[in-house]
Structure 1
Amino acid sequence: MVETSVSIANQLRQQGQQSEAIAAYQEAIELQPDNPGIYHLLGQSQAQQGDLEGAIASYQKSIALNPQQSFWVYKHLGDALRAQGKLDQAMVAYQDGMQFEPDHPDFYHNLGQAQALQGNLEDAIASYQNAIALNPSHPFWIYKNLGDALRQTNRVDEAVCAYQEASQCDPENGKVVYPNLAQCQQQQGNLDDAIASYQNAIALNQDQPAWVYQNLGDSLSLQTRWYEAITAYRSAIAINPSINRVKESLADALRETKQLEQAIAAYRDGIETNPDRFESWHCTARSTSPVAGCFPRPLLLAESPHAGGRYRCRTA
């Protein structure tokens, strides 16, 4: 009878019918209340339904009934605690589970994620590296998470290697790793590689955040590839018109290509977005002079009503 209820519940869980599965597991528990395996299965359905409190209680009941069981119950408990932000408890669960399968890479990966969320990046890096050492063909996310932790600790060269491993593991998921890889390549001064990585990210998913297009534009500008930079900046503005500094960068690129009327319009648009940025007023004055870069007109200093007494430029 218990086996029948559990079998039905398992089928329902696999079909995504979690409410019905939970009811079936609870029916089985009424028949056999001391079975730790049923509590573990119940917890998985509760977690899939979004009831993390219920899942945690079920996992803990399973462990209380039999602490010497499958390491998976400790992993699932740690995952639920981590999802709730209970990071100290999650790490204890992961570490408890390691005693049963100390060489399982998933534990080190999950432990690293909890450590990273706590801000313990060096510990997280060590955990990710342990996971990779145990299984070098580990899935994409371990390399991506390792790259993120290395980038945040300014270990840029190592981060590049980790991101490149991630992109090789799962090229289709490169859309989430290429932007970070490109940032590291920019820091290295490898502009060609950074541009290629930004373009790869966009090719895989054009719905990238505005900063990806802005950073692409900045890298292209550093190579004086002004027309390509203009296209990138305009894409960034289309996604987020208020993103910091992008309108001014667009205007600079337009000015470099002698598109002065459009440059003036972009500088003025930048001033409207952020009236306290001196650079836009300064460059507007330069662009409105008869020869860009010369200042035949007298420039006046006008006190900005938004700048708390600071001054900005305007033409006479």
Structure 2
Amino acid sequence: MADDFAKAVQLHQAGRLLEAVEIYQRILVSNPYDEGANHLLGVACSQMGQFDLAIHLISEAIRANDRVPDYHVNLGNAQFSARRLPEAEASYRRALALNVDIPEALFGLGNTLAQTGRLDDALVAHERAVALRPAFVEALANMAGVLNRLGRPAEAVDKLRRAVAERPGEASLHADLGRALLATDRPAEADATAARALRLAPDSAPILVAAADVIRARGRLEEAMEHASRAAELSPNYPPAVLILARLLRAMGRDERAAETYLRLAGIESAGVSHLFEAANAMNEMRRLPEAVALYQTLLAREHDHSEVWNNLGNALREQGELDRAAECYETAEKLCPDDPIVMSNRAALLGSLGRVQEAEALSRRVVELSPGAAVPLSNLGQALYAQGRMEEAREQFDAAGLADPDNDDIRFHRGIVRLMLGEFTEGWALYEARWGNRKRADVHRHPGTPQWRGEDVAGRTLLLWSEQGFGDTLQFVRYAPLAAARGARVILEVQPALVSLLQGMPGIAKVVAVGGETGPVDLQAPLMSLPLAFGTTPDTIPAAIPYLAPPPERLEPWTRRLNASLPPGSRIGLVWAGDSRDHDIECTLIDRRRSLALAQLQPLLAVTGAAFVSLQVGRQGLQARDETRVADLTSGITDFADTAALIAGLDLVISVDTSTAHLAAAMGKPVWLLSRFDGCWRWLMGRDDSPWYPTLRLYRQPKAGDWETPLARMAADLAAWLKGR
């Protein structure tokens, strides 16, 4: 039997595993308790990927003799491979309790600690292993990996150079060294090292991936793609190959293929948590929210206590509008990782979006205490204060956030908005340009290749002015188009299709096209909402001459006839009670909920006698007029804003929430009474009931969030007096 065991060991050491296994099994048939055979059969099973069987067999050997350190080390190795990390750590520690100077036990312990995020402890374990065996290449390489994760790439380079010196022919070491050199800003050395790795192993998927990573960082995307594609071809189910391919496709602007490639990871059994997490985050960033949510949920089924995944799932659900589920995710993440400022900041932002601004303020202040000087918590606090109308305090927090992170475009944007609200236009318009740094806004910029006009001499040049946000924004800021024409520009307007007919009659405009239409060659472009900056607009220099919009003459007669046929003579008042929810954008949807009413809430106005009320409400909210006999509904004939303008032309007053119809009526010079939510839009400024943008507009503001009764009661009294005076 001893001869059989010696022969099996010899075969095992020669790599002839199946032959060795056969002999180990024969020995165990004769003696099931043979500790040596159980141990080495377990090691062989572990080498063949049969980790559960390996754990069972080595455990049998330990039952027979628990004083052999190697048994515990190899049990730990099998447990580590089976992802049973707490058990693996315990096995390595038992081995070290028997003998503190076992490099393999320290190496295994270091790997386990690194996997569980205890990087400092992992580094100590690897250092002890290398101190005992200076030429321990695997420990040097893994120590370098830990140092990289700790943000110490220069030290990682040193360890990898030592490893390469021991094994100059090992391609993976050169590949790791190339990545580490790149992290220390030595791109030329990184390139040369990656090339050396490729020469050593030109058909190795891991080496091809590492080379692609280095070359990608050098900006040579096509060359990197060749290596990544080859890696994926050689090993289609190798997660790092799939990931580098997806990263490159995304970097090259091929988002559809990138998304398909990321999603392949969900079907690859060997894809780890980090691989799936990157894929889920990429889906989130690409606004493919259902796929992101599905991947996060797959991750949580595998690793339920991963606080970052819970947090990011909350972010994706919030973007989808599933706010209650998002709140649950943030709460779970906070329980798993108490006082995590990122999670708390996200929950504070969600509370603000839900209108729970006092809670948002309190939580934001707590995060600021935990992370003094951090930009995002300061910005969140600013937003909570802004929503409560505490503008000076909000400005203070936004400015502090700006000092902490001066290049953060979202923070610059908020700094601009609070200044515009306070009437500080000069600085406000300049900061408002930061809106293009937001990923949602950046996608809207349709003409990034054409120079932007910023107010310089434009005489004799063709200037394209284009809509970027909602209908109301276009109607408000299109007033600048004739002013640009007056400076000698040939002005082309590119606007939403529903506005084309209305705006074709504006003076000085050479051409009006719908978004995506043919503009012809242009010299300069400007988004409409950047024109106040180009013209240096202050509250005192707003171009407020009205009317600057009018319906096309051919639309007036049929609408006048229809209006007269439907209503008796007398005062005619148009009503708009709700906005457009824009279901694709949760922030817009939440704002719409705060600005909109139901028609039934306008009863105080409808009870005022002496006027005929006309619905100007289009869309699904307009259906409410069918059940209200005091409101005539003619909107079925409206096809675009030119029709709406023709209908408004026959009215004496328009009462509206903050919508595009209010802008249209005010731009036509009609009296407009606007119901403004408590956290009203910046364009209406602070503490006034008139508007420098529209001389005929009067504001009725909520005194507190959700309170429409107070402004409606005041408006009803004013309406009765207005009608009496006519």
Band of TM-score, shorter chain: 0.5 to 0.7
State how many pairs are aligned.
253
The answer to whether 1:151 aligns with 2:317 is no
CA-to-aligned-CA distance 1:97-128 (integer Å, 9 cap, x gap): 12331123222111111101111111111111
Aligned-partner SS, 1:209: helix
> Structure 1 residues 63, 12: closer, same or farther in 2, change over 3 A?
same
- Counterparts of residues 90-105 of structure 1 (less than 5 Å): 90-105=122-137
> Structure 1 residues 30, 176: closer, same or farther in 2, change over 3 A?
same
The answer to whether 1:209 aligns with 2:245 is yes
Query: Which residue is 1:227 aligned to?
Result: none
Query: Quick check: which has more Rg, 1 or 2?
Result: 2
Amino acid at match of 2:232: N
The answer to whether 1:128 aligns with 2:160 is yes
Cα distance in 1 between the residues matched to 2:112 and 2:441: 47
Contact 2:209 2:231 (C-alpha < 8 Å) held by counterparts: no
Q: In structure 2, which of residues 100, 103, 106 is the aligned counterpart of residue 67 of structure 1? A: 100
Cα distance in 2 between the residues matched to 1:197 and 1:240: 18
CA positional deviation for 1:284: 9.2
Cα distance in 2 between the residues matched to 1:47 and 1:11: 15
The answer to whether 1:89 aligns with 2:121 is yes
Cα distance in 1 between the residues matched to 2:246 and 2:38: 52
> Structure 1 residues 159, 92: closer, same or farther in 2, change over 3 A?
same
> Structure 1 residues 198, 10: closer, same or farther in 2, change over 3 A?
closer
Query: Which residue is 2:198 aligned to?
Result: 167
Gaps of 5+ in 1: 218-232, 245-272, 286-293
Cα distance in 2 between the residues matched to 1:135 and 1:76: 21
The answer to whether 1:304 aligns with 2:469 is yes
Query: Which residue is 1:40 aligned to?
Result: 73
Contact 1:2 1:28 (C-alpha < 8 Å) held by counterparts: yes
Cα distance in 2 between the residues matched to 1:55 and 1:240: 36
The answer to whether 1:3 aligns with 2:183 is no
Cα distance in 2 between the residues matched to 1:21 and 1:240: 38
TM-score by length of 2: 0.31
Aligned-partner SS, 1:171: coil
The answer to whether 1:79 aligns with 2:111 is yes
Cα distance in 1 between the residues matched to 2:48 and 2:443: 57
CA positional deviation for 1:299: 2.7
Aligned-partner SS, 2:132: coil
CA positional deviation for 1:27: 2.8
> Structure 1 residues 169, 83: closer, same or farther in 2, change over 3 A?
farther
> Structure 1 residues 84, 302: closer, same or farther in 2, change over 3 A?
same
- Counterparts of residues 225-240 of structure 1 (less than 5 Å): 235-240=254-259
Contact 1:108 1:128 (C-alpha < 8 Å) held by counterparts: yes
Contact 1:160 1:184 (C-alpha < 8 Å) held by counterparts: no
Contact 2:175 2:211 (C-alpha < 8 Å) held by counterparts: no
Query: Which residue is 1:228 aligned to?
Result: none
Cα distance in 2 between the residues matched to 1:18 and 1:205: 27
CA-to-aligned-CA distance 1:288-313 (integer Å, 9 cap, x gap): xxxxxx975x633435249x99x897
- Counterparts of residues 183-262 of structure 1 (less than 5 Å): 183-186=216-219, 195-205=222-232, 209-213=245-249, 235-240=254-259
Gaps of 5+ in 2: 1-33, 234-241, 261-282, 287-438, 452-459, 479-492, 496-511, 513-726
CA-to-aligned-CA distance 1:217-264 (integer Å, 9 cap, x gap): 6xxxxxxxxxxxxxxx5x5543349988xxxxxxxxxxxxxxxxxxxx
TM-score by length of 1: 0.67
Cα distance in 2 between the residues matched to 1:4 and 1:152: 47
Deviates more, 1:204-213 or 1:20-29: 204-213
Identity score, percent: 21
The structure where helix makes up a greater share of residues is: 1
CA positional deviation for 1:279: 4.7
Cα distance in 1 between the residues matched to 2:256 and 2:450: 19
Aligned-partner SS, 1:299: strand
Aligned-partner SS, 2:163: helix
Contact 2:92 2:109 (C-alpha < 8 Å) held by counterparts: yes
Aligned-partner SS, 1:281: coil
Cα distance in 2 between the residues matched to 1:238 and 1:284: 28
Query: Which residue is 1:53 aligned to?
Result: 86
Contact 1:34 1:65 (C-alpha < 8 Å) held by counterparts: yes
Deviates more, 1:235-244 or 1:73-82: 235-244
- Counterparts of residues 17-32 of structure 1 (less than 5 Å): 17-32=50-65
Cα distance in 2 between the residues matched to 1:36 and 1:204: 40
Query: Which residue is 1:223 aligned to?
Result: none
> Structure 1 residues 146, 295: closer, same or farther in 2, change over 3 A?
farther
Cα distance in 2 between the residues matched to 1:128 and 1:68: 23
CA-to-aligned-CA distance 1:54-104 (integer Å, 9 cap, x gap): 1111111101101234x2222122122222222111111111112331123
